[in-house]
Amino acid sequence: MALIVMMVAMACQASAAREPKRDPGTRRVRVLYVGDTVWRTWRDITADPVFSVVPVPATLGYFSGDALLKFMRQYIPHTYQTFVESVDLLVLSDSDRSLFTTQQESWFRDGVVERGLGFVMGGGFEAFGGAAYGRSWKGSATEEALPVECMSNTAWDIRPFFARPAEGARDHPFVTSLPWDGMPTFGGMNIVVPKQSSIVLLRSVPTALGDPEYPVLIYWEVGKGGAVAHTPDWNPGWGATVMDYWEYYQDYIVNIAYLASGLDVPQELQLVHSVRTGLAGYALQKSMVYRSWNSRKASAATSPLWRDASMRSSP
């Protein structure tokens, strides 16, 4: 089965450019962000008007078992049809495999390959082969949609490194969209093996002599969809410095979402950065003005519920 999927995927890859999957009504990309929702990463994606995000708390490291089961029951679509009709981009951010059923793992793969979903896996103790609390993603149906092979045990390296453009990818639109020189170090990463037809966009540059180099950001188009593997955690722990001290962190995260969704990654760095900063400032300002007298709406906007685009109110 896996072989057939791979062959179909590679055949499709050679075909025409990918058509981004969006909500036909709102033109927005509907994101199901599953994993460590305690950090700002999903909010940074939400601040970009292209995306409409539903965050689902789902990491064993941050949430207790009963709560997790409830979140999964409530917020993960119950059928494959609902899943592919309501989600355009699936993000699994440091989320353990044991939280999902075998059927859901297959939905994730099929959604990408057959229905053109975007897919991002963000690193951490519970991603790729990082089975700190549960199970490695190795051997799962979901792994077939990833551009990398996962390892079978707790495969990570916690030595700090810089993420920099890989040779051969310097002209890729994602790589040219950001200034990499000022990006601080990550504190660790999952170890993976890129698949044959994937593109390694970023690789690690060790901070100490003799440390090994690893692939950091890997992309491929598979079937009708596309997938990105981000091997470091993009928020605390391993990504804390990047998240807190890099001016272009939001652009980095959002551009990864663009890449996985099949959207053109904007190249006008300073202009787009100013717009995104303005939008983030607006969101903060609005929450301060409105929250005091409209707490019900404010709490709805931050709760992990399916949100209709109409719930985005404007002054």
Residues in the site for another protein, rule: CB under 8 A? 27-28, 48-50, 266, 268, 271-272, 274-275, 278-279, 281-282, 285-286, 288-289, 292-293, 312, 314-315
- Nearer to another protein by Cβ, of 48 and 94: the residue is 48
- Nearer to another protein by Cβ, of 6 and 50: the residue is 50
Residue 28 phi/psi, 5-degree rounding, is -90, 155
C-alpha 219/C-alpha 198 separation (Å) is 6
CA-atom Rg of the chain in angstroms:
18
* CB atoms closer than 10 angstroms to residue 158: 10
- Nearer to another protein by Cβ, of 135 and 286: the residue is 286
Contacts of residue 69, defined as CB under 8 A and 6 or more positions apart, other chains included, come to: none
Residue bearing tokens 């890997």 = 218
- Nearer to another protein by Cβ, of 197 and 287: the residue is 287
Largest Cα separation within the chain, whole Å, is 58
Residue 176: CB minimum distance to another protein, A: 16
Per DSSP, the three-state class of 157 is: strand
Residue 280: CB minimum distance to another protein, A: 10
- Nearer to another protein by Cβ, of 75 and 290: the residue is 290
Residue 30: CB minimum distance to another protein, A: 14
- Nearer to another protein by Cβ, of 154 and 285: the residue is 285
Torsion of CA 258, 262, 266, 267, to 10 degrees: 120
* Contacts of 270-277 spanning 24+ positions with Cβ under 8 A: 273/247, 273/248, 276/47, 276/48, 276/250, 276/251, 277/250
Residue 312: CB minimum distance to another protein, A: 8
Residue 281: CB minimum distance to another protein, A: 7
Per DSSP, the three-state class of 227 is: strand
Residue 271: CB minimum distance to another protein, A: 5
- Nearer to another protein by Cβ, of 212 and 281: the residue is 281
C-alpha 211/C-alpha 10 separation (Å) is 34
Read off the tokens for 159.
Answer: 């030595």
Alpha helices in the chain (DSSP H): 2-13, 41-46, 65-75, 80-86, 102-115, 141-145, 173-176, 240-245, 249-261, 269-291, 295-302
- Nearer to another protein by Cβ, of 182 and 278: the residue is 278
Residue 28: CB minimum distance to another protein, A: 8
- Nearer to another protein by Cβ, of 7 and 284: the residue is 284
Asked whether 290 and 280 are in contact (CB, 8 A), the reply is: no
C-alpha 220/C-alpha 313 separation (Å) is 36
Residue 252: CB minimum distance to another protein, A: 18
Residue 315: CB minimum distance to another protein, A: 6
